Structure 1
Amino acid sequence: MNQYSDLTSFLKDGAPKLLKGPVALIFAEDEVELDATIRHHIDAGFRHTVVFAMPEFSIAEDVAEQIFRVDYNVRTPTALETAVNGVMRATGDIWIYYCYNAEFLFHPFCEHRTVGEMIAFNVEERRDTVLTYVVDLYTGDLWQNTNAVCIEDAHLDKTGYYALARKDRWNNDLDRQLDFFGGLRWRFEEHIPAPKRRIDRVALFRNKPGLVFLPDHLFNDPEYNTYACPWHHNLTATICSFRTAKALKRNPGSTFDIDTFKWHNSTPFEWHSQQLLDLGLMEPGQWF
């Protein structure tokens, strides 16, 4: 394991080692399913995995040997954009992905195609991003799994997702940009601040000089924020995430209002890309 005592030392001595991508940046807010998150993304085919975590967080030995570990407080208000922009400035023309612990990337046909193969196809389509939708996962039994997380009993919403045109400061529609909503952030929106309700995230992208990652999961290059190129639909991916369910149960303002996350549109999560494709939660574009 390559271990670094803070972000500065990693950007100086570790990031220059990331000569080839794709690189996964995993931000650990706590230890919940941290090992499972790391294993999932290593298995997905990322060339390097960087884990930002508090020093006291434990990581299993078998995965610790395969990662860059950076001591870092992910819970500070600007932790995500500070680290992502730092890695972008310290590396070159590589593909970068970011997520939190208890989040799992699924892309079309991921059971037999690596994330690198997906990127190769995307490059052929002259796309520098893969738009991802954050699909909320939650346990079916909050009495047994009080933190809302259980991989063996994960559920998701099979309907209730929608998109609205993204506006500029003059209230004009932005070209090929949409704000996507749904899942727990929609069903329990009274507990979610309005700026945090979107479920779209440009989580996989190609780094380039001058690119800046913004606090709202967008970039300073408008083309990076589009859902497709001008001539046809592009593939998209899904991040299946326990993060919102976990936060709603951890927050004193919402935990006592929620006895269950299940409703009539809940369905067990099968941990397979075909289910997500069938539900329309991601699409293969022209990739077959």
Structure 2
Amino acid sequence: MTTPTLTEFLARPGKALAKGPLAMVFAEDETEIASTLRHHLDLGFKSVLLLAPDSFVTAPDVLAEPALHRIRFDTARGDDPIAAVNAVAGAAPGLWMYYCFNAEYLFYPFCETRSIGELLAFHAEERRDAMLTYVIDIYAPNLARHPDAVSLEEAQLDRSGYYALGRPDPENHNHPKERQLDFFGGLRWRFEEHIPQNRRKIDRIALFRAREGVALRADHTFTDEEYNTYACPWHNNLTAAIASFRTAKALKRNPGSTFDIETFTWHNSVPFEWHSRQLLDLGLMEPGQWF
């Protein structure tokens, strides 16, 4: 059976869009596709869409998962993930959705014992339709051994160096946007000379409830400003984190930066424990009122 394009899939989605939450994984290369898919399947997503070129190979057992749906998609040839997220959202209003790229792994408070459905059910009870996630860079410590900077077994992250600035409001130059911040840190901060200014932020509204007339923008925020807030006006809300090799991969593959970087390790590097408790302890996500 041939792999459908996104247009073909959305015309006949079967049960894939019947019940959420739904995850979209965009494969930009073949790095850790299987581990990315397994991680999100294990979190309890009802459907996981793999958007990848037909030539990308991944583990047969993962592809055989009933919840997994493969879609022909090629970012190298101009297919746009932002447009794809909006197309899927437009086809399933009301559904909770999540999107990421290969070699990225979602973590949220207590994810080892609670499903993504439980998380979003609580978040919805607090009248929230979107959740802020921080993209936390992880990287291999030894680039001679792992030239693409990817190692699940030896992954490290920065334990400090994260900060936030008020998000400017173009319509009110005297005050930043309410309950919105631009977050920075990790490799995009430490190697900012190699990162375009408009790509240095590490915040992404990666979890959201699809709604008619609300669209994802290229900077990973939404056209509804309330979707972009980190909390409601009354108290702190849940936030999540995405452990991501994506920036490390790009810095080592880009000819303009690869020879300038001998290692990503510095005095604030610590082993990544692949556990939500570490991210909570480092202040890289917020449990809000959920215990």
Where on the TM-score scale, by shorter chain, does this alignment land: which range? over 0.9
1:124-139 matches, cutoff 5 A:
124-139=125-140
1:47-196 matches, cutoff 5 A:
47-66=46-65, 67-76=68-77, 79-170=80-171, 171=173, 172-196=175-199
1:5 Cα offset (Å): 2.8
- Spell out, residue by residue over 1:28-52, the C-alpha distance to the aligned partner (whole angstroms, 9 max, x if none): 0001000000000000010000000
TM-score (norm 1): 0.97
Q: Larger deviation: 144-153 or 69-78?
A: 69-78
1:82 Cα offset (Å): 1.2
CA distance in 2, matches of 1:127, 1:206: 9
Task: Tell me which of 251, 268, 272 is aligned to 2:254.
Answer: 251
Query: How many correspondences in the alignment?
Result: 287
Question: Does residue 198 of the first structure (1) align with residue 198 of the second (2)?
Answer: no
CA distance in 2, matches of 1:266, 1:37: 23
Q: Larger deviation: 28-37 or 75-84?
A: 75-84
CA distance in 1, matches of 2:232, 2:93: 24
TM-score (norm 2): 0.96
1:16 Cα offset (Å): 6.7
1:76 Cα offset (Å): 4.9
1:198 Cα offset (Å): 0.4
Which AA in structure 2 matches 1:127?
A: R
SS at match of 1:239: strand
CA distance in 1, matches of 2:77, 2:170: 28
CA distance in 1, matches of 2:79, 2:223: 17
Which AA in structure 2 matches 1:50?
A: L
CA distance in 2, matches of 1:86, 1:15: 16
1:15 Cα offset (Å): 7.0
The match for 1:27 is 26
The match for 1:284 is 287
Q: Larger deviation: 58-67 or 150-159?
A: 58-67
Classify 1:3/1:163 alpha carbon distance in 2 versus 1 (closer, same or farther; 3 Å): farther
The match for 1:14 is 13
Task: Tell me which of 258, 273, 277 is aligned to 1:274.
Answer: 277
Q: Larger deviation: 85-94 or 128-137?
A: 85-94
Classify 1:161/1:203 alpha carbon distance in 2 versus 1 (closer, same or farther; 3 Å): same
1:14 Cα offset (Å): 1.8
The match for 2:268 is 265
- Spell out, residue by residue over 1:54-85, the C-alpha distance to the aligned partner (whole angstroms, 9 max, x if none): 11001211110221100111235561111001
SS at match of 1:68: strand
Uncovered stretches (5+) of structure 2, i.e. residues with no partner = none
- Spell out, residue by residue over 1:192-215, the C-alpha distance to the aligned partner (whole angstroms, 9 max, x if none): 000000000000001111111111
1:4 Cα offset (Å): 3.3
Kept in 2: contact 1:3–1:69 (CA 8 A): no
Kept in 1: contact 2:3–2:54 (CA 8 A): no
Task: Tell me which of 217, 235, 238 is aligned to 1:235.
Answer: 238
The match for 2:35 is 36
Classify 1:31/1:245 alpha carbon distance in 2 versus 1 (closer, same or farther; 3 Å): same
The match for 1:46 is 45
SS at match of 1:245: helix
CA distance in 1, matches of 2:215, 2:79: 14
Percentage of identical aligned residues: 58
- Spell out, residue by residue over 1:7-26, the C-alpha distance to the aligned partner (whole angstroms, 9 max, x if none): 21012112774111000000
Which AA in structure 2 matches 1:154?
A: A
CA distance in 1, matches of 2:76, 2:118: 33
SS at match of 2:180: strand
Which AA in structure 1 matches 2:116?
A: V
SS at match of 1:176: coil
